[in-house]
Amino acid sequence: MSPPARRNVAAHATPPIPTAQLRAFHAVATSRGFTDAARMLGITQPAVSMQVRALETTYGVELFRRRRAGAALTDLGAELLERVRPMFALEVEAAELLGAAGAGLRGHLRVGADAPFRAVPALARFRVEHPAMQISLTLGNSAETLRDLLDGRTDVAFLSDRNDDPRLFAAPIARSVQVVIVATTHALAGRKRVRLRDLAEVPMIVREQGSSTRRAFERAIAEARVSPPVVLELGSREAVLEGVAAGIGAAVVIASERGHDARIVALPIADAVIEHIDYVVCLQERRRLRGIRAFLAIPPRLPATERRARR
């Protein structure tokens, strides 16, 4: 009896995915959509769409939900992004390695921040040391800034809230506390400090959901069993400062973000320390890239004793 014929496994194996299709997918997933991805790759928008559509058609899947406002990742698309992100990080790292080792830094560094106060001085110093680098800054609340970093829309970020996501490298750079701000005409303006229970009946202006300042304040008043009335929710620090100056209500801000507005008085909180540690953050897998590594060296780091104080 003759032996059974061997099966040709290679003939039935899944063919490799063309790199161009994965590159197009990665560009769309880490930018604002197909148009920005085309600009990033230096090809036309129809070419990007064709590559992504070919990838979806080959496997009979949907990686993006196409909308007028842009493309949103499906759950499968988000999972695929996590798988291919290291591949393209290595590609960028290889390109940097093959570049002239002694040449000055060139390229585009995309920075995100939940406030400009730490970010802008660091950008200024980085610009002096690496004048050939193009830099852009995107501002948002903490949740938006973190999402942009994880999705690859930014390279590094400044955040005033610790995140224990193992995908992230975070270096603590500054410590700050919250203060209450009121208009100079407010009933509390003459105080040297306030207690949380003094705010029980005070109309408050708060930041939008996703703000680390709001989250920390809400934890503190919950522990103090105080529920001041919220009269206005605003989407930026600048808007909060204007609302306070106009006498609409009191608010809390990080002390370093209080500014120098003569219409506003800042009052320390006597019975609670609502503390924030500011971090400069990047993806662990991209930490070794020259541009990111050079930027991480710019902001001063907190001494170890201050890092421990927050825990």
What CATH number is associated with residue 262? 3.40.190.10
H or E element that contains 206: strand 204-207
User: Is 109 in the same domain as 249?
Assistant: no
User: Is residue 189 packed enough to be buried (19+ CB in 10 Å), middle (13-18) or exposed (0-12)?
Assistant: middle
| 102-151 per-position pLDDT tens digit | 456 778 899 999 888 889 999 999 999 999 889 999 998 888 999 999 88
Q: Is there a single domain that holds both residue 76 and residue 108?
A: no
- My answer on whether 124 and 153 are in the same domain is yes
Residue where a domain terminates, one of 95, 116, 145: 95
How far, CA to CA in Å, does 32 sit from each of 36, 66, 67, 86, 285?
6, 12, 12, 20, 22
Domain span at residue 138 reads 103-173+277-309
**Which residues of the chain register pLDDT less than 50?**
1, 4-12, 100-102, 305-311
Q: Are residues 165 and 289 in the same domain?
A: yes
What's the pLDDT score for residue 164? 83
Query: Over the range 233-263, which residues count as b (16 or more CB within 10 Å of their CB) and which as e?
Result: bbeebeebbbbbbeebbbbbbbebbbeeeee
Total of domains in the chain = 3
Residue 203 phi, psi dihedral angles, 5° rounding = -60, 130
- Cα distance between residue 193 and residue 251, in whole Å: 14
Q: Which of 192, 210, 189, 188 is nearest to 200 (CA)?
A: 188
Task: Check whether residue 146 and residue 281 sit in a common domain.
Answer: yes
59 and 141 inside one domain: no
CA distances from 246 to 186, 208, 240 (A): 10, 19, 10
Give me the pLDDT at residue 243, please: 95
Q: Tell me what pLDDT residue 307 has.
A: 46
Whether residues 162 and 281 share a domain: the answer is yes
Q: Which pLDDT value is given to residue 16?
A: 83
| 72 within domain boundaries | yes
By residue count, the chain amounts to: 311
Strands 168-183 and 251-254: antiparallel
pLDDT for the residue numbered 30: 85
Among residues 207, 110, 118, the alpha carbon closest in space to that of 151 is found at 110
Q: Are residues 269 and 295 in the same domain?
A: no
Indicate whether 158 and 193 sit together in one domain.
no
Assess whether 83 and 221 both reside in one domain: no
The answer to whether residue 3 is domain-embedded is no
Distant-in-sequence, close-in-space partners of 160: CB < 8 Å, separation ≥ 6: 114, 115, 142, 176, 212, 213, 254, 276, 277, 278, 279
Residues 169 and 281 in one domain: yes
Q: For residue 50, what pLDDT is reported?
A: 92
Look at residue 134 and tell me if it is in a domain.
Answer: yes
Task: Give the model's pLDDT for residue 104.
Answer: 61
pLDDT value at position 37? 87
Q: Are residues 194 and 245 in the same domain?
A: yes
Sign of the CA dihedral running 133, 134, 139, 142: negative
d(CA 38, CA 35): 5
Helix residue ranges per DSSP H, 60-115: 75-98
197 inside domain: yes
The CATH number covering residue 29 comes to: 1.10.10.10
- Name the token pair of 297: 């060296």
CA angle 160, 162, 166 (to 5 degrees): 135
In a domain, 2, yes or no: no
User: Who contacts 229 (Cβ-Cβ below 8 Å, separation ≥6)?
Assistant: 201, 202, 203, 204
State both tokens at 248: 């609409």
- pLDDT recorded at residue 304: 54
Separation of alpha carbons 242 and 32, rounded Å: 31
| pLDDT value of residue 40 | 81
